[in-house]
Amino acid sequence: MKKKSLQDVAQRAGVGLATVDRVLNERGGVAPATVRKVLQAARDCGLNRILPEEQRNPWQIEVLLSGNDSFFFKQLAQDFSNVASNLGHRRLTLHRTFVPESQPDRVAKRILAGSETRDGLIVFAHEYQAIYDALTTCEQRGVPVISMVTDLPGAARLCHVGINQLQAGRTAGNLMGRMLHQPGDVLIVSGRVDYSAHRQRIEGFQRVLSERYPHLHLREVLAGQEDRNTISKLLEKQLFQSGNLLGIYNTGLGNTEIGQALARHRKLNQCIWITHELYCTTRSLLAQQSIALTLDQNTRQHAQHALDLMLRYLEGGEKPDTYKDGKVECVIYTSENID
């Protein structure tokens, strides 16, 4: 093969000449996504030689999840394992990595490391420049990334998998308003307000109340910051205030602490309480009629959609719609349908 032909392949694939040599001569040490890119470039250039076979091993897929102690991510991790097992170990190898979401630089480093060794990444992350830069590098290296749960608008990603968070907040607000007919106060307990999922839930809830239910007065948003002690302290202060508290909407974790605070002030079962996710705590509170309803994000569907979309892209080049194909339907649970 003439050197010019190798250079043509390198230029078309966007890699160095040494990388092309390693791929075509099967010397190893090249990321699977780059191998596929080089082999495709070689085919496009019409090289007159037998090319190595690509992807004889299972796809290496890494899922980056939050390292916090919320039920949602623990269940999501388990569902990813279950879905991957059903798909078969010969088809893919699943790697689960837990990184504190409050450390975006560490998340970004893990994304960059994964782009060197994995075929695809499924990422839970927030809107930080380091994250966006890491995703751009993944795109340049030909490694597809699916964002999950919290959207990353404009990021270099294959698609997004998750519920419509703004719609979830609007749903909670509309149901709250329809259940409360007399004038009074409503309180929001939020997770970290610098995270878009919580901001969107709050925004949706606030909009519906202001548009349709002016008889309800929304107090300040309590920024619980995903910290149980903070949630307890903030809520304790609110419950000592005068006023007619009729409803509480919790956008994140802390349902145990909210229930305990309401019980101390003899307000448990005395106000409409709406929250997120169905798990042992919310299931018990629903059965006791303490929580009116919970909006569940359906962790199993997150895992199923994300892995299906990733494999369809890796195996057939099928590019999904940014939002439509990965949309997860939110499920509303009350005391009547938790069994």
Residues 130 and 184 in one domain: no
Residues 203 and 271 in one domain: yes
With 0-12 / 13-18 / 19 or more C-beta atoms within 10 angstroms meaning exposed / middle / buried, residue 21 is middle
Residue 127 pLDDT: 94
Residues 84 and 141 in one domain: yes
The CA distance from 242 to 30, in Å, is: 66
Residue 56 pLDDT: 60
Residues 147 and 213 in one domain: no
Q: Is residue 52 part of a domain?
A: no
Residue 220 pLDDT: 84
Residues 158 and 236 in one domain: no
In terms of C-beta distances under 8 Å and separation of at least 24 residues, what long-range contacts does 264-273 make, across chains too? 264/239, 265/239, 265/240, 267/239, 271/245, 271/246, 271/247, 272/176, 272/179, 272/180, 272/246, 272/247, 272/248, 273/247, 273/248, 273/249
Residue 28 pLDDT: 65
Q: Is residue 118 part of a domain?
A: yes
Q: Is residue 256 part of a domain?
A: yes
Gyration radius of the chain over CA positions: 24
Residue 1 pLDDT: 43
Show the beta-strand stretches assigned E in the chain: 59-66, 92-99, 120-123, 145-148, 159-161, 184-190, 216-223, 245-250, 272-276, 293-296, 331-333
Q: Are 249 and 204 in contact (CB under 8 A)?
A: no
Q: Is residue 94 part of a domain?
A: yes
Residues 234 and 245 in one domain: yes
Residue 171 pLDDT: 98
Q: What is the DSSP letter of 152?
A: -
The CA distance from 39 to 172, in Å, is: 51
The CA distance from 154 to 132, in Å, is: 9
Residue 240 pLDDT: 83
Residues 227 and 263 in one domain: yes
Residues 169 and 292 in one domain: yes
For the chain, 339 residues long, give each residue's pLDDT as a single digit of tens. Answer: 444 578 888 888 888 888 888 888 877 667 777 888 888 888 888 877 777 776 567 899 999 999 887 889 999 999 999 999 999 988 899 999 999 888 999 999 999 999 999 999 999 999 999 999 999 999 999 999 999 999 999 999 999 999 999 999 999 999 999 999 999 999 999 988 878 999 999 999 999 999 999 999 999 899 998 889 999 999 999 988 877 999 999 999 899 999 999 999 999 999 999 999 999 999 999 999 999 999 999 999 999 999 999 999 998 889 999 999 999 999 999 999 998
Residues 158 and 169 in one domain: no
Number of independent structural domains in the chain: 3
Domain hosting 40: range is: 3-45
Q: Is residue 258 part of a domain?
A: yes
Q: Is residue 27 part of a domain?
A: yes
Q: Is residue 51 part of a domain?
A: no
**Global confidence as pTM:** 0.81
Residues 195 and 317 in one domain: no
Find the CATH number of the domain harbouring 323: 3.40.50.2300
Residues 215 and 254 in one domain: yes
Residues 190 and 292 in one domain: yes
Q: Is residue 338 part of a domain?
A: no
